Structure 1
Amino acid sequence: MSSPATAASHITGLVLSGGRGTRMGGVDKGLQVLHGKPLVQHVLERLAPQVGTLAINANRSQLEYARFGYPVWHDLQGDFPGPLAGLQCGLAHCHTPLLATVPCDSPLIPYDLVAHLYDALSASGAQAAIAVTEGVHGRQRHPVCSLLQATTRASLDAFLAAGGRKMDRWFASLDCIEVDFPDERAFSNINTGLDLQQLEAEQ
């Protein structure tokens, strides 16, 4: 098996910031500030050391996102069709064998997220690996925190063309492995202004 450093060079990282932010009043979630930095900056700083190249998927505020110094890719489809469109965008631009994805509103993602997903994917030969946690709400799947073989693009293109939108349904069509992580809090999403205030107060 490749060392983590060698493996990282074969992985493109993508931060998904292409949503509508409906539950936060329609604001661009990735640009909301936590401890003096935009949420997306927290995520970029955690993901950057784990991958070889890095980009942001955004459908608005592209100039603001470009200031972080990474390529900004917009969905191939219009009208904000959801996170699968962000994955499709990443796979379309990906020039490495693997694509790692994380959401812009999870500022506590583990520093070893990609390494664990990579180890599981390599050992199983699966097409995709997603993070899973056990907590107070039971077993939670986090499909937006994923590692994908670049060859899954054709499957996703066909799924979206047929009107598919649900992440769980598409992942269920793949050879997908679930990878357990011990810290449920690391995958917390900032979906509302209250979520942001609570995290600001906790740390």
Structure 2
Amino acid sequence: MKQPLGVILAGGLATRMGGGDKGLLALGGQSLLARVIDRLEPQVAGLALNANGDAARFADLGLPVLPDTVAGYAGPLAGVLAGLDWAAGHGAESIVTAAADTPFFPEDLVPRLLLAGEGMAHPLVLAATREASKLYRHPTFGLWPVALRDDLRAALEGGLRKVVLWTDTHGGRVAEFPTHPFDPFFNVNTPEDLAEAERLAG
């Protein structure tokens, strides 16, 4: 399988941080987005940012900015679809997504997602972690096949919003990641989370 393209999902509303772009918040002298780019870029064949509104605010990143193509705020699946449409235009077979507010995700995210998807006609894999024997899937971190983009578009237009309902329909798998010394999918939703991220970054 060809190396996937990467798409950073920054289309959220950031209501718990008072609105605005969470990805542009500073963490240890770098924006959250810059940290996510640094982690994802070496793992993929090319990178884009899914974000809505004025793309000029991200101009300094030098990345293509992909707005949602589904009307209304349709959640992370709309960002996945925008990424798949972009990837199709570049002849790619798949994308890997990462959230813009999750600065410590694994540096081996992509190889482990690809490994978990081996043998699937259309590899579809979500990252997951385990806590007290319960498995938690992380719907903004996944491997998504371009071949299913029209199916996803139809599902979104039909009102589907929950990621795992769609991935389960297509036999989606999980790639499980360790949570020691802390959960690598810890994300910044509140000012308290940002303070905790500063501690972890230090």
Q: Give the TM-score normalised by structure 2.
A: 0.91
CA distance in 1, matches of 2:134, 2:124: 22
Partner of 2:41: 48
- Structure 1 counterpart of 2:41, which letter? A
CA distance in 1, matches of 2:133, 2:194: 20
* 1:193 maps onto 2:186 in alignment: no
- 1:69 aligned partner: 62
The alignment yields a C-alpha RMSD, in angstroms, of 1.6
SS at match of 2:155: helix
Q: Percent of pairs identical after alignment?
A: 37
User: 5+ residue gaps in structure 2?
Assistant: none
* Structure-2 residue corresponding to 1:120: 116
Match of 1:78 among 66, 71, 77: 71
- Whole-angstrom distance in 2 between the partners of 1:179 and 1:128: 10
1:39 corresponds in structure 2 to 32
1:87 to 1:39, Cα distance in 2 relative to 1, 3 A: same
- How many residues are paired up? 196
Runs (5+) with no aligned partner, structure 1: none
Q: How does 1:115-154 map to 2 (within 5 A)?
A: 115-136=111-132, 138-154=134-150
Q: Structure 2: how far apart are the matches of 1:42 and 1:136?
A: 29
What are the Cα deviations for residues 77-124 of structure 1, in whole angstroms up to 9, with x where unaligned?
233221111011001111300110010011001111000101121244
The amino acid that maps onto 1:92 is D
1:173 aligns with 2:169: yes
Runs (4+) of structure 1 exceeding 3 A deviation are: 123-127
Match of 2:105 among 109, 113, 124: 109
Q: Do structure 1's residue 88 and structure 2's residue 81 form an aligned pair?
A: yes
Counterpart CA distance in 2 for 1:61 and 1:111 is 30
Structure 2: distance between partners of 1:38 and 1:160: 31
Cα distance in 1 between the residues matched to 2:152 and 2:121: 19
User: Cα distance, 1:64 vs. partner?
Assistant: 2.4
User: Which stretch of structure 1 is more off in the superposition, 22-31 or 50-59?
Assistant: 22-31
Name 2:21's counterpart in structure 1.
Answer: 28
Match of 1:57 in 2: 50
2:93/2:146 contact within 8 Å kept: yes
Q: Distance in 2 between matches of 1:132 and 1:54?
A: 22
In 1, Cα distance between equivalents of 2:132 and 2:38: 28
Aligned partner letter, 1:191: N
Q: Retained in 1: the 8 A contact 2:127–2:174?
A: yes
| Distance change in 2, residues 1:117/1:71 (3 Å) | same
Q: TM-score scaled to structure 1, two decimals?
A: 0.90
Q: CA deviation at 1:164?
A: 1.0
Whole-angstrom CA distance in 1 between matches of 2:74 and 2:148: 19
